[in-house]
Structure 1
Amino acid sequence: MSASSVKNIVIVHGAFADASGWEAAYNILKSKGYNVTLVQNPTSTLKDDVQATNVALDRQDGPTVLVGHSWGGTVITEAGVHPKVVSLVYVAAFVPDVDESTLALVQSAPILEVNGILPPDEKGLVYLDKDKFNQTFATGQSKEKSDFMYDSQIPLTVTAFVDKVTAAAWKSKPSYAILPTDDGTINPVLERTMYKRAGSTVVEMKGGHTLFMTHPEEVADVIIAASILR
């Protein structure tokens, strides 16, 4: 790690999976000398997840790269205004603007031909369809890994989907964005539109929505690029 690099990295997981899926990328980053913190956000409300992220950011000893996957992109958009955050990395992620919700973004783009997101249940929780899970969310994972991910999925609440962000850190801080060409959860057309609006440095990769698990080296490379002070 060069002397001009930011040494702290905070990673915010998305909906339907927790931070443990980032283990391979974590190990790569740690081996290169980075201090990596993984937020176990509750995916209950935007406020709760931003608060969990801010707790992690408060504990950093200096400038920090903030990374968000999927729903985690909405979280880091708001939490990224934290004074320790110097850059953002969006990984197959939502990038809302101020007063915009994740649901509004989803509704602004064509619906994917195969949609694995189920309607909310009676408790207001949103899960992924078992029959479509591997095709839409766990693309590239083995059947055993996909089955485990399905059975351990963390639902997202309707409240989180409709919560509007109150700040957009990408307006004042540089951002990188990873666009998986085979994303079956967020329409790549929407990702491209959001990333362009944010002025992000976009890296397209062959892979699905959880490519941070199937392509950890390539994802880690983008995070490292975001850590270099310019």
Structure 2
Amino acid sequence: MNTKAKIAVASAAVAGAVGLAAAAPSAGASPVPGDKPTVVLVHGAWADGSSWAGVTARLQDEGYTVDVVPDTLRGVATDSANLHAFLETITGPIVLVGHSYGGMVISNAAVGVTNVKSLVYVDAFIPDEGESAGQLSTGSALAVKDPSTVFNTVSIPNG
């Protein structure tokens, strides 16, 4: 899939979640017509916040507040704690979006943040709180103890 198509798909997924979050009443608060949720975008492990540039521009053009939160890539627990602390500074509804590794982060960061209305996973693992990517990968070639049981090794001369 080319970059334009990926941006379009991600934008559509986020827009759908944003629409649902905007329509959902929040506990203890009266929604104000026209209020839009803050969209928080979390990048994957092999990217940075600039990977969300196309999605950010489209959402901002539609009047959404968009925050692109950098991952320090210090591990899911640390990155989730950092994101959780940031989320607690936001008033109003939040749509939390994670790409790839960011999916692991948003699942844990959202726990206990009552104004997170939607979690959107873009090409990401969708774990339960505290679940690891390894636990989600059982049965895959990545989870075997002996790689020779699933891969054919190739000898490299003089290697």
TM-score range, shorter chain: 0.5 to 0.7
Question: How many equivalent residue pairs?
Answer: 111
Instruction: Report the counterpart of residue 76 of structure 1 in structure 2.
Output: 106
- Aligned counterpart for 2:82 among listed residues 29, 34, 52: 52
Counterpart of 1:58 in structure 2: which amino acid? E
- Distance in 1 (CA, whole Å) between partners of 2:45 and 2:64 is 25
Instruction: Report the counterpart of residue 105 of structure 1 in structure 2.
Output: 136
Which gives a bigger RCO, structure 1 or 2 (Cα 8 Å, sep 6+)?
1
- Distance in 2 (CA, whole Å) between partners of 1:98 and 1:88 is 13
- Distance in 2 (CA, whole Å) between partners of 1:99 and 1:41 is 18
SS at match of 1:93: coil
Instruction: Report the counterpart of residue 16 of structure 2 in structure 1.
Output: none
The alignment-based identity, stated in percent, is 39
Counterpart of 1:72 in structure 2: which amino acid? G
Q: Which has the larger radius of gyration?
A: 2
Alignment of 1:2-17 (within 5 A): 3=33, 6-17=36-47
Give how far 1:22 is off: 0.4
* Runs (5+) with no aligned partner, structure 2: 1-18, 23-32, 143-159
- Aligned counterpart for 1:89 among listed residues 96, 116, 120: 120
Give how far 1:4 is off: 5.8
Residues 172-207 of structure 1: CA distance to partner in whole angstroms, max 9, x if unpaired? Answer: xxxxxxxxxxxxxxxxxxxxxxxxxxxxxxxxxxxx
Give how far 1:18 is off: 0.9
Q: Which portions of structure 1, spanning 4 or more consecutive aligned residues, are displaced by more than 4 angstroms?
A: none
Residues 129-163 of structure 1: CA distance to partner in whole angstroms, max 9, x if unpaired? Answer: xxxxxxxxxxxxxxxxxxxxxxxxxxxxxxxxxxx
* Runs (5+) with no aligned partner, structure 1: 112-230
Does structure 2 conserve the Cα–Cα contact (< 8 Å) formed by 1:65 and 1:89? yes
- Distance in 2 (CA, whole Å) between partners of 1:60 and 1:68 is 17
After superposition, the CA RMSD in angstroms is 2.1
